[in-house]
A and B are shown apart, each in its own frame.
Chain A
């Protein structure tokens, strides 16, 4: 049955899906954006969404406003030769859109047994001695930290809450671009938190996200077992456990999306709404580079032609040969330099 979004989320939202990438969003009111907030390539169309009958439990609030980001975007866009006309802080800031990314939070009770090698740091004393004729020996003490590994085993009966589990298929790639979020700043969900922004709908339901959730439980248990042993390191951790009383809720992460056009394509820029980290491709404009190359080539041609004629005239009046030679040299240098902007831009864009 289709979810009554306004009743659940507390604000009027429209579910829509991108016809190109398939990403589903909840959009504020009836405002359908021209481009998909996820891929910025395809168009989105309203489609019914089958969602959980409860809103997200927690939201990570935006710490940076659109105005605060304008300066950072301007700084980020600088330093590119032949930068596209739209790669400007003002353009990027004007197109900023809030997009909230989903993250599953899972609670559960871990009951079972574990076994691991735990490592304790210890220091050993070594020596570096030096000898010199006339001075004799001098000795220097050197300390080196080593790890002593010892086996440990035991039982575990611990409850874990709010372990973060990816809700999107491309979660890890997104996080690599956006950087870490400080989940300690999270707050309870309020309808105001999603006003004016798009909310990405999870690609994966909890059942599909369970392998990742289980890995999160194992990581948390491993860390606790390390602390229980009073060790600095742990390895070869093996956990045989049951995971009871599982409970899934959702959290929303604050991000901004903006874009600039270069050629026929829109290039997305992602911003972490908490830390302000900007991630995107700063492309150079091949068109601008091409114009400069043509100008240089044309100028070279203009110099080479009279230079050649003057050089020929030098057979009749030798001083003209000198002038013609100079023009030919300058023209040749310009002709050699002409393709460099195009090559430079190609290399720059290829590297990115």
Chain B
């Protein structure tokens, strides 16, 4: 130790702040926590004219609705390196019990109005002056807040065009859909998602059968038959899982959300309130433990399929396996989507558009009259040819036509089945 170091000249390292010490005579300094004060809201106003600003998906920057001037956004693109968290007991407990049902009051910095918002709302527009306010970040170090997001990359106008195109597509839907009107404006909303990373070490053990051809004699005749030799085998499969996506909301059909995917998570940026200005954003209503259970079920099924494939045989019995999860990490992100609904034949249908790629998915009514006509058209040739064959068989040469008609009828039945199930699937989205 060097002696003679004067303690008067000592200053704590840069960025360190004092902490309470549990021992007298010892001062304690630690790095200042990241993030701002808890429950901060930010209002977005134009620095030039004081007008209301919002994030523009077209220009990828904050623009003023009044003077049209734009402000650059300098958020860092973190992509798949966005901050991840471990499954600590603390986080799981916090996630299990959430923030309660109490509502929060956000004060508008522009006009001073106080607006109550639900706890799962991240953004709000003042009903009195129209300014956009965004929750900056909750309590310091609170991981159960979004840490990254993908900004909107497709504007509402382009989405409208794609929506019209999508509605008019497909012969099994009513042609009136082309002229249907949305119930309301397209809502651009950041939807919550959980992403999970893990390494699964799977070990399997099973009786694996190998086919073998053997010869035998029956009634003095040499014959062959296939027999299966069973043998206990074991093996292991390592499965790295990267960014397994599970929706953080149950209010939008998961099937629809899967249909508008994939999202390019390489475009993730650090959470910055400016990206949410003028857009809606929801926090999750599917908790971390619930989402992790869903992800685990999907991942372990993937592991089971990989182990089955690892056996190298189609003959497997008494199959058993273990799947050890290691290095589990999670991340809470916001992904952009447009929600819109329309009314048709007294029913409301939901449509969702990927706010990053513009891919559309949604519910569309099925015109069963068209479907049945198509099925009839597929079956008719076979039936007609067979009928003609029957008639000509009176003259003794209709057998060939009956055979041909049967073949065409079978093909028609196959096609009809495909059409029927496609129509059912389209209706059940």
Contacts and interface: CB of A to CB of B under 8 A. Distances in A.
B13 A153 contact: yes
B27 interface: yes
Given A151-B31, A154-B29, A155-B27, A126 B5 contact: no
Contact of B10 (A113, A133, A143, A224): A113
Contacts of A33: none
Interface in A143-190: 143, 146, 150-159
A72 B92 CA distance: 56
Contact of A129 (B2, B88, B317, B323): B323
Contacts of A151: 13, 30-31
B87 interface: yes
A153 B5 contact: no
A217 to B, nearest CB: 9
Interface in A221-254: 224-225, 227-230, 239-243
Nearest to A135: B320
A202 to B, nearest CB: 24
Contact of B7 (A155, A229, A239): A155
Interface residues of A, number: 43
Contacts of A218: 1
A149 to B, nearest CB: 12
B99 interface: no
A241 B6 CA distance: 9
A111 interface: yes
A61 B16 CA distance: 49
Contacts of A317: none
Given A128-B324, A133-B319, A123 B89 contact: yes
Given A113-B5, A240-B5, A242-B3, A154 B26 contact: yes
A154 to B, nearest CB: 4
Give the most central of B19, B26, B87, B297: most A CB within 10 Å.
Answer: B26
A130 interface: yes
A92 B5 CA distance: 56
Interface residues of B, number: 43
Contact of A228 (B21, B88, B300, B326): B21
Given A123-B88, A150-B31, A133 B320 contact: yes
A154 B30 CA distance: 9
B4 A242 contact: yes
Contacts of B2: 240
Given A126-B326, A133-B319, A137-B300, A153 B16 contact: yes
Nearest to A139: B296
Nearest to A153: B29
A230 B30 CA distance: 12
Contact of A125 (B12, B92, B319, B326): B92
B296 to A, nearest CB: 6
A112 interface: yes
A204 B201 CA distance: 58
Nearest to A156: B26
Given A153-B12, A240-B1, A129 B300 contact: yes
Interface string B64-97: 0000000000000000000000111110100000
A176 B36 CA distance: 54
A195 interface: no
A154 B28 contact: yes
A69 B42 CA distance: 79
B5 A227 contact: no
B324 A154 contact: no
A214 interface: yes
Contacts of A265: none
Contact of B23 (A112, A227, A239): A227
B88 A122 contact: yes
Contacts of B320: 130-133
Interface string A41-85: 000000000000000000000000000000000000000000000
A54 to B, nearest CB: 27
A124 B16 contact: no
Contact of A154 (B12, B89, B317): B12
Give the most central of B3, B297, B328: most A CB within 10 Å.
Answer: B3
Contacts of A152: 19, 28-30
B388 interface: no
A230 B7 contact: no
A171 to B, nearest CB: 22
B28 to A, nearest CB: 5
A143 B89 contact: yes
Contacts of A227: 22-23
Interface in A291-332: none
Given A123-B89, A128-B323, A151-B13, 15 more contacts: A122-B90, A123-B88, A126-B324, A126-B328, A128-B322, A128-B325, A131-B319, A151-B30, A151-B31, A152-B29, A153-B12, A158-B26, A228-B26, A242-B3, A243-B3
- 6 cross-chain pairs, A with B, having the tightest CB-CB distances, nearest first: A158-B25, A228-B23, A228-B26, A154-B27, A155-B27, A228-B21
25 contacts: A111-B7, A124-B87, A125-B92, A126-B326, A127-B296, A128-B324, A128-B325, A129-B323, A129-B324, A131-B304, A131-B323, A146-B86, A151-B31, A152-B19, A152-B30, A153-B13, A154-B29, A155-B7, A155-B10, A156-B27, A157-B7, A158-B23, A218-B1, A229-B30, A240-B5
